Amino acid sequence: MQAGKEVRWHALELEEVLKKLDTSLEGLTSDEARKRLEKYGPNEIKTEKGVSPWRILLGQFKSPLVLMLLLATGLSVLIGELTDAITIVAIVIASALLGFYQEYKAERAVEALKKMAALTARVLRDGKEVTVKASEVVPGDILILQAGDKVAADARIIESINLRVDEAPLTGDSYSVEKTPGKVPPETPVPDRINMVFSGTVVTYGKGTAVVVATGHNTELGKIAKTIQEAGKKETPLERRMAYLGKLLAALSLSIAAFVAVVGIFIWKYDILTMAFWAISLAVAAVPEALPAVVTGALAVGMYRMAKRNAIITRLPAVETLGSTTYICADKTGTMTKGEMTARKIYVSDRIIDVTGSGYDPKGELLINGEKVDPRKVKELELLLLAGVLNNDARIEEVEGKRTIVGDTTEGALLVLAEKAGINIEEVKSTYPRIGEIPFSSERKRMSTFHKTPENEYYLFIKGAPEVIISLCKYIMKNGEIVELTDEEREKIKKVNDDFARKGFRNLAFAFRVASEEEVSSPHEKHESDLVFLGLVGMIDPPRPEVKEALELCRRAGISV
Return the DSSP state at 333: I
Q: Is 499 part of the annotated catalytic residue set? A: no
> What are the chain's domains?
9-43+137-229 (2.70.150.10), 53-112+233-324 (1.20.1110.10), 341-540 (3.40.1110.10)
> What's at 262, amino acid-wise?
V
Bridge partners for 28 per DSSP: 125
Q: Which residues touch 126 (CB under 8 Å, ≥6 apart)?
A: 27, 29, 30
The pLDDT of residue 432: 97
Between strands 473-478 and 531-540, the pairing is parallel
| Nearest CA among 69, 67, 48 for reference residue 59 | 67
In 3-state terms, what secondary structure has residue 277? helix
Predicted pLDDT at 148: 83
CA dist., res. 64 & res. 239, Å (int)? 10
- Calculate the dihedral angle through the C-alpha atoms of 423, 427, 433, 439, rounding to the nearest 10 degrees: 50
Q: What's the DSSP call for residue 200?
A: T
Q: What is the residue type of 439?
A: P
What is d(CA 107, CA 182) in angstroms, rounded to the nearest whole number?
A: 44
Q: How many CB atoms lie within 10 A of CB 471?
A: 11
d(CA 212, CA 18): 10
Cα–Cα nearest to 303, from 285, 284, 318: 318
Report the greatest alpha carbon distance in the chain. 120
Angle separating helix axes 64-78 and 237-266, nearest 10 degrees: 30
Contact 355, 417 (CB under 8 A): yes
The contacts of residue 208 (CB under 8 Å, 6+ apart) are 145, 146, 157, 158, 159, 160, 161, 163, 179
Tell me if 558 sits within 8 A of 501, measured CB to CB. Answer: no
What residues are paired with 64 via a beta bridge? Answer: none
Query: What per-residue confidence (pLDDT) applies to 64?
Result: 65
For 6, the 3-state DSSP assignment is coil
Rounded Cα distance between 12 and 8, Å, is: 7
| Global confidence as pTM | 0.62
Name every residue whose Cβ is closer than 8 Å to that of residue 90 and which is 6 or more positions away in sequence: none
Q: Which of 31, 173, 331, 498 is catalytic?
A: 331
Do you know the residue count of the chain?
561
> Which residues contact residue 99 at a Cβ distance below 8 angstroms, ignoring those fewer than 6 apart?
60, 296, 299, 300, 316
Instruction: Give Cα 286 distance to the centre of its chain.
Output: 51
- How does DSSP classify residue 217? G
Cβ 171 vs Cβ 191: under 8 Å:
yes
Which stretches of 79-127 are DSSP H helices?
82-114
Q: How far is Cα 412 from Cα 406, in angstroms, rounded to an integer?
A: 8
**Amino acid, res. 331:** D
Contact by Cβ (8 Å): 485, 380: no
Half-sphere exposure of 207 (CA within 13 A, CB side): 4
pLDDT in tens, the chain (561 residues): 444 457 999 999 999 999 999 999 999 999 999 999 999 999 987 765 556 777 777 777 776 666 766 776 776 677 676 776 787 678 778 777 766 776 666 555 545 444 443 488 999 999 999 999 999 999 999 999 998 899 999 999 999 988 999 887 787 776 788 899 999 999 999 989 999 999 989 898 888 999 999 998 899 988 877 776 665 556 667 667 767 776 787 788 778 878 888 888 888 888 876 777 666 666 666 666 566 666 666 666 666 676 666 565 656 666 667 667 788 887 676 677 777 899 999 999 999 999 999 889 999 999 998 999 999 899 999 999 999 999 999 999 887 778 888 888 899 999 999 999 999 999 999 999 999 999 887 788 999 999 999 999 999 999 999 999 999 999 999 999 999 999 999 999 999 999 999 999 999 999 999 999 888 888 888 889 999 999 999 999 888 878 888 888 888 878 887
Beta-strand pair 351-355/366-368: antiparallel
Residue 423 main-chain phi, psi, to 5 deg = -90, 135
CA–CA distance, 408 with 13 (Å, rounded to integer): 29
Nearest to residue 89, comparing CAs of 300, 297, 289, 283?
289
pLDDT of residue 215: 94
Q: Say if residues 337 and 504 touch (Cβ distance below 8 Å).
A: no
Residue 251 neighbours by CB under 8 Å, 6+ apart: none
3-state secondary structure of 52: coil
